[in-house]
Chains A and B, each alone.
Chain A
């Protein structure tokens, strides 16, 4: 399952579904809204392109790390401190592939999937700076 959605997910159900025949390890990455003195976080996506890019990343990870199952659910909308932002569930025959595949997916998402975060504070809001533009420049 590869999705961009507002709703939370049942991680336990995803783990159960990830146990394909031959599974020896399931790794779950759960990115959470951290309390950096914020009230909420607002997430925005170029949804069609984001899903297509995450599908591409999942396919690459399955090929490179012999993963048996991949779920990526990236939430958008307003999220409170402690809520899930991004859930990645992967399964593989052995733990090295499961860990490496999960790590690959999160790092690639940070590079190329068009999603943005705005931290909302009592004094307004601030966009979380992205690291990967066309070139070396950074927005002001």
Chain B
């Protein structure tokens, strides 16, 4: 199945964006993002801590709805999902 992963701002500069990811049924949101971020060390370190958990300030969304960090290891992605990962917002 295919899932789209979008990084924004500094994370986009480090990892790219609109990344189509082929993943197995049952993959969790956390494992999916980790798998993509691991390809670039600086990008991975910007998003994850030494234990492989999202840094506290990182915001994660699935299909436009926020996912709490404690749920990311349990939420299973579905075909066609759009996952967004970004730093704290700074508009206005």
Query: Interface residues, chain A, CB within 8 Å of chain B?
Result: 31, 43-46, 48-50, 52, 74, 85-86, 106, 109-118, 127-140
Contact = CB atoms under 8 A, between A and B. Distances in A.
A45 B90 CA distance: 10
A43 B9 CA distance: 9
B57 A138 contact: yes
A127 B64 CA distance: 23
A110 B89 CA distance: 7
Secondary structure at the A interface, as helix, strand, loop or mixed, is: mixed
Nearest to B54: A134
A139 B92 contact: no
A49 B46 CA distance: 23
Interface residues of B, number: 25
B34 interface: no
A90 to B, nearest CB: 15
Interface string B1-15: 000001011101000
B61 interface: yes
B56 A134 contact: yes
Q: Which 7 pairs between the two chains have the least Cβ-Cβ distance? A: A130-B88, A115-B91, A133-B57, A137-B56, A135-B56, A130-B90, A116-B9
B38 interface: no
Given A44-B8, A113-B89, A133-B58, 19 more contacts: A31-B92, A48-B64, A74-B92, A86-B91, A109-B92, A110-B89, A112-B89, A114-B89, A116-B8, A116-B86, A116-B91, A127-B9, A132-B88, A134-B58, A134-B60, A134-B68, A135-B69, A136-B56, A140-B46
A85 to B, nearest CB: 8
With most chain A CB atoms within 10 A of its CB, the pick from B10, B86, B89, B91 is: B91
A120 to B, nearest CB: 13
A132 B89 contact: yes
A48 B54 CA distance: 24
Contact of A115 (B58, B61, B69, B89): B89
A86 B92 contact: yes
Interface in B69-92: 69, 84, 86-92
Contact of B88 (A43, A49, A118, A139): A139
